[in-house]
Amino acid sequence: MKHANSNFYIGCISGTSMDGLDVALLDLQTDSKMQIKAATTVALPAQLRTQLLQLALTGDDDIDTLGYADVTLGAFIGHTINDFMTSHSIRSQDIVAIGSHGQTVRHRPPTEKTAGFTLQIGDANQIAEITGITTVADFRRRDMAAGGQGAPLVPPFHQALFAAVGAMPVILNIGGISNISILGKPTRGFDTGPGNCLLDSWCEEHIHKPYDEGGQWAQQGQVDDHLLHTLLQDPYFASPPPKSTGREYFNLAWLKHHLNSQTPNDVQATLCELTARCTVDTLAQLSVEYSHLIVCGGGRCNDYLMQRLAALSPAQTDACEAFGVDGDSLEAAAFAWLAQRTLTGKSGNAPAVTGAMQERILGAIYHK
């Protein structure tokens, strides 16, 4: 790869679905001139994934498990980035910095009564040591310290990337949790609720697959209107932004609390409808006028979910590939972008999104 410039940043994230580590190489000349040059997703080693899933649920929280998972994930990220650079013939000295999100193992947004905290692991000391590249990490906690939710952080990046689309698009990222960016001045955004997390967990429990390929299983079931209505009554959906959530809230225990005698197949169909409705309904409640719904994240590969979104939303609904953007690497690229913001002394958060008092320079820098 030709790389005679100093605008290359690598971003990486292991999202709430824990399906793998996404890595993206971003060529960042200016905000309006940036390009994802290469990307990959690498599955997490099975034992590490099991540990991370365990840590993401409330239970016997153990500091040893947390500490070892932190360094193991950090080392895995470092080696994965080295392999990624080798396979694209890039040298470490060609990369300005890595922006590493890490793995969220707990996200407790602030409430009226408590300060809240958010915890991402994947030790950036390991990443800087193994790659020899300056690494920026721990992006969320400064926003929270400034009174924000610490999430979502991607809307300003979506704004920069899709500014040229014009005509009021909404970007929907369907990861484990779904989040939207409502482009405009100011850009707004929040987590709308479950994305794939419930679909995946239910699928794993009943048909022993990590996800419902193309949404085929859901498509064979019937939506249970009563169950759907009950689930949509959860106060999270009607609560006003700023808001963010995680799998410590939307998980199988939450779902099972509302189930009675539905068949597993009908539950999957209903969960798929829930994922589509929680976004489309919230946009309607907030009277957001949008001409395009641009979908990124793994959920865009769920054909049945995409059909339901297109049917329910008043806007033209497309996967982001329709706009020349690879929907698997977008979140990773966002953290490359955020690393550049930090290193150039620019703010990374959008107070209108997170609810922070003011813009802040995010993250901690681990020098090479």
Ligand X SMILES: Nc1ncnc2c1ncn2[C@@H]1O[C@H](COP(=O)(O)OP(=O)(O)OP(=O)(O)O)[C@@H](O)[C@H]1O
- Of 159, 187, 192, 196, the residue at the interface with ligand X (CB under 6 A) is 196
Which one of Mg ion, ligand X, none is in contact with 337 (Cβ closer than 5 to 8 A by kind)? Answer: none
Work out whether 176 is an interface residue with ligand X (CB under 6 A).
Answer: yes
Report phi then psi at 83, rounded to 5.
-60, -40
Work out whether 272 is an interface residue with ligand X (CB under 6 A).
Answer: no
Residue with Cβ nearer Mg ion (218 or 301)? 301
Asked if residues 170 and 294 have their Cβ atoms less than 8 Å apart, the reply is: yes
Work out whether 19 is an interface residue with Mg ion (CB under 5 A).
Answer: yes
Tell me how far apart the alpha carbons of residues 278 and 199 are, in angstroms, rounded to a whole number. Answer: 14
Residue with Cβ nearer ligand X (90 or 176)? 176
- Of 211, 237, 290, 337, the residue at the interface with ligand X (CB under 6 A) is 211
Type and span of the H or E element at 361 = none
Tell me how far apart the alpha carbons of residues 74 and 126 are, in angstroms, rounded to a whole number. Answer: 5
- Of 94, 123, 191, 200, the residue at the interface with ligand X (CB under 6 A) is 200
Return the structure tokens found at 98: 């890595």
- Of 11, 15, 221, 348, the residue at the interface with Mg ion (CB under 5 A) is 15
State the DSSP string of 201-212: HHHHHHH--SS-
The interface region with ligand X, picked from 32-40, 57-65, 193-201, 335-343 by CB under 6 A, is 193-201
- Of 8, 9, 17, 134, the residue at the interface with ligand X (CB under 6 A) is 17
Residue with Cβ nearer ligand X (74 or 299)? 299
Type and span of the H or E element at 217 = helix 216-220
Residue with Cβ nearer ligand X (18 or 160)? 18
Residue with Cβ nearer ligand X (39 or 90)? 39
Closest distance of CB 211 from ligand X, Å: 4
Strand-pair partners of 361? none
Closest distance of CB 195 from ligand X, Å: 7
Asked if residues 88 and 8 have their Cβ atoms less than 8 Å apart, the reply is: no
Q: Which residue is nearest to ligand X (CB)?
A: 298
Asked if residues 160 and 31 have their Cβ atoms less than 8 Å apart, the reply is: yes
- Of 147, 184, 186, 214, the residue at the interface with ligand X (CB under 6 A) is 214
Work out whether 173 is an interface residue with ligand X (CB under 6 A).
Answer: yes
The number of residues that bind ligand X (CB under 6 A) is 22
State the DSSP string of 307-331: HHHHHH-SSEEEEGGGGT--TTSHH
Report phi then psi at 299, rounded to 5.
-60, -20
Work out whether 298 is an interface residue with ligand X (CB under 6 A).
Answer: yes
Which one of Mg ion, ligand X, none is in contact with 313 (Cβ closer than 5 to 8 A by kind)? Answer: none
Going from the C-alpha of 149 to that of each of 86, 118, 152, 356, the distances in angstroms are 37, 9, 8, 7
- Of 205, 213, 225, 289, the residue at the interface with ligand X (CB under 6 A) is 213
Residue with Cβ nearer Mg ion (36 or 96)? 36
Work out whether 15 is an interface residue with ligand X (CB under 6 A).
Answer: yes
Report phi then psi at 26, rounded to 5.
-115, 125
Work out whether 212 is an interface residue with ligand X (CB under 6 A).
Answer: yes
∠ CA 340-342-348, nearest 5°, is 95
Work out whether 299 is an interface residue with ligand X (CB under 6 A).
Answer: yes
Residue with Cβ nearer ligand X (9 or 211)? 211
* DSSP secondary structure letter of residue 14: E
Asked if residues 12 and 124 have their Cβ atoms less than 8 Å apart, the reply is: no
Going from the C-alpha of 163 to that of each of 4, 125, 155, 181, the distances in angstroms are 27, 35, 11, 12
Which one of ligand X, Mg ion, none is in contact with 70 (Cβ closer than 5 to 8 A by kind)? Answer: none
Among candidate residues 90, 91, 73, the one with its CA nearest the CA of residue 12:
73
Instruction: List residues binding ligand X (CB under 6 A).
Output: 13, 15-17, 19, 173, 175-176, 196, 199-200, 211-215, 297-299, 301-302, 331
Contacts with Mg ion, residue ranges (CB under 5 A)? 15, 17, 19
